[in-house]
Amino acid sequence: MRGAVLLLASALFLASCRKPVEETRIVGFDPESSTGLLVSGWSGWEQTAEGDSFVWAQARQARLRVDSRADGDRLVRFRAWPYRFPGAPPQTVTLFVNDARVESATLGDGPRVYAFIAPKAAFRPGANEVRLEFAYAEAPRDREPGGADARTLAAAFDWLELVPPRPGPGAETKKS
């Protein structure tokens, strides 16, 4: 009996010593905040004329690894702009968290902020995958007169954040 009590006390002590999961709150799409988080489908880091860092999603699917405590819904918000070319169809993005489809949106021309509510059920404690799926990824050299860039481009991303949603009126997001 005494051995069982010691074993239980040891297990409780070890559980209390575990560090809580450090949640991924922001991906700045720069070497400082996104190294190791960009899993597949991304270009290298680039800069706008103003000096802001960004990366291109270079495939019809781009994947990120994020950490979560899975203790509630998350607002997934990002600033992005689509690759556009003459005659391009509307560029769409669909957000998935661990293969759970969250929502889709059409990306407007130029940099804009998009926001989705990802439900608590989509997350698990620890490592999670965020997947972005696009309508197209095309190479500028194939779509633009004089285009030299051979990479396929879907959309450029400036930042992405995962934060608890703020309740209240005036929310511009909807829950899936």
Q: Mind giving me the DSSP string for 37-96?
A: TEEESB---EE-TTS-EEEEE-SSEEEEEEEE---S-EEEEEEEEE---TTPPPEEEEEE
pLDDT of res. 147: 84
d(CA 133, CA 123) in angstroms, rounded, equals 18
pTM of the entire predicted model: 0.82
Spatial distance between the Cα atoms of 61 and 155, rounded to a whole number of angstroms:
11
Q: For the segment 57-108, what is each residue's pLDDT rounded down to a tens digit?
A: 999 999 999 999 999 999 999 999 999 999 999 999 999 999 999 999 999 9
pLDDT class of 46 with cuts at 50, 70, 90: very high
Give 164's DSSP letter: P
Domain 20-138+153-163 is of which CATH architecture? Answer: Sandwich (2.60)
Give the pLDDT confidence score for residue 153 in this predicted structure: 97
